[in-house]
Structure 1
Amino acid sequence: METAPIAGLQPLNKRERLREMVADALRAAVISGEMKPGAVYSAPTLGTMFGISATPVREAMLDLVREGMVEALPNKGYRVRVVPDEELDEVTHVRLLLEPPTIRDVVPVIPRADFPRLRELAQAIVDAVNAEDLVAYINADRVFHLALLAYAGNSQLSTIVSELRSRTRLLGLTPLLESGRLEESAVEHHRLLDLIEAGDAAGAQALMERHIGHVRGKWARGT
């Protein structure tokens, strides 16, 4: 049975990098829970939502299959993988080992001239919440955090964290959005930048630890 349209999957500009754009949008939809765990989606139906053919959707879905986010079902489509709580706990643990210490270390190396751009990235997260667009929220959140980690100059770290974020599931985002509480988490990105601008490395690390902790708390369960 086909599922209902997914909020945030909008028609795309066909002249742009379709496969990458589709893959990014689908990842965000899976992580946010817009694409339901266990549900089956067909490439033609998703292509219609995007306003494109099914071919780039199938290509993007193959990326998600390799990443373990969905499972290919012959002649049916793609099923969103259900991630056990134990795996989510392990992913969160590894992120806590990697991201907060890295944020602490990059505080003194981020140039003052870069903060206007970082503020724009943080505001994009807030804007996505105000627009009630969870797919845009997940994408904006990913771009912001990877931009901060990039100052560490370690491409392997950025790749690992990006993959870990893709394996996360934030099924509680919808009730948080509906209750208005997701905006609090969105604004938290500006508070993180406040600490970084002030040179408070320890404070930035602590905030990042709380931020990731939300993944297995209110973001995951909507509580």
Structure 2
Amino acid sequence: MGGHLKQQNLITAQERLRDQVAHALRAALISGELQPGKVYSAPALAADFGISATPVREAMLDLAREGLVEPVRNKGFRITEVSERDLDQYSELRALIEVPTVGAITGSATREQLEALRPIADEIVASARDHDLIGYLDADRRFHLSLLALHGNDRLVETVGDLRKRSRLYGLTALDESGLLVASAQEHHELLDLMLAGDAKAAEACMTRHLGHVRSLWAAEEH
């Protein structure tokens, strides 16, 4: 029994390392340390981390499933390049799904359900003020997906989650450096307030504006 438990602990430790590496790689993608179009090998990245290549390779496979990198035979992983056209299409899909869904949720969600999202909105603002981009992304993802989950359509939440991963928040670093990240963060509180007031039309307009801001940030980063 003891040996079996030891083996389980080892597996858990390996999984944790894989998750930590994936987290660090996402941070490097956001900060621009890992460049789109470039190929990186798992052993070289592992040497940077000071660990073995296996958890790095596994973490890269996780990122490949998210569309952030693509495997290159016998070489490693290429950071996926996302074109302006790609970003426009992701933005259009998100708006088509998220805007009317926010309107519908405004009419169906309870005050308690909406207020439960307030602490996450606070986290988004706090991360923006602390220049914690990974924290910002994590809280932002939890806010949007938890809000959409109130609609009761699991596939819709999965689809938006996938679109978010594939587009990544291009321009996040530039937005932070320009001091505009806090303003973007505060839009989550504005959205909640409008939904709590029962104003579906204004909530939809706020969501449209919020997604538009995100897209214009990507454009600012590209040019």
User: SS of 1:167's equivalent?
Assistant: helix
5 Å matches for 1:147-162? 147-162=146-161
Kindly provide the amino acid, as one letter, of the partner of residue 39 in structure 1. Answer: K
Kindly provide the amino acid, as one letter, of the partner of residue 61 in structure 1. Answer: M
Determine what percentage of the aligned residue pairs are the same residue: 54
Query: Shift of residue 214 of structure 1?
Result: 1.8
Higher relative contact order (CA 8 A, sep 6+): 1
Superposed CA RMSD: 2.8
Taking structure 2 as the reference length, what is the TM-score of the superposition? 0.80
Alignment partner of 1:78 is 2:68: no
Q: Which residue of 2 aligns with 1:130?
A: 129
Q: Which residue of 1 aligns with 2:9?
A: none
Contact 2:67 2:165 in 1 (8 A): no
Query: Shift of residue 14 of structure 1?
Result: 4.2
* Between 140-149 and 17-26, the greater mean CA deviation after superposition: 17-26
Q: How many residue pairs are counted as aligned between the two chains?
A: 211
Query: Shift of residue 71 of structure 1?
Result: 1.7
Kindly provide the amino acid, as one letter, of the partner of residue 176 in structure 1. Answer: L
CA distance in 2, matches of 1:108, 1:203: 12
User: SS of 1:149's equivalent?
Assistant: helix
Q: Which residue of 1 aligns with 2:3?
A: none
Q: Structure 1 regions of 5+ residues with no counterpart?
A: 1-12
* Between 129-138 and 196-205, the greater mean CA deviation after superposition: 129-138
Greater helix share, 1 or 2?
Answer: 2
CA distance in 1, matches of 2:14, 2:119: 25
Query: Shift of residue 137 of structure 1?
Result: 1.4
- Encode CA deviations 1:99-151: one digit per residue, 9 max, x unaligned: 01001111133232234431111111112212212222112111110000000
* Between 173-182 and 50-59, the greater mean CA deviation after superposition: 50-59
Alignment partner of 1:102 is 2:101: yes
CA distance in 2, matches of 1:56, 1:187: 37
Contact 1:31 1:166 in 2 (8 A): no
Bigger radius of gyration, 1 or 2?
A: 2
Alignment partner of 1:37 is 2:36: yes
Contact 2:102 2:148 in 1 (8 A): yes
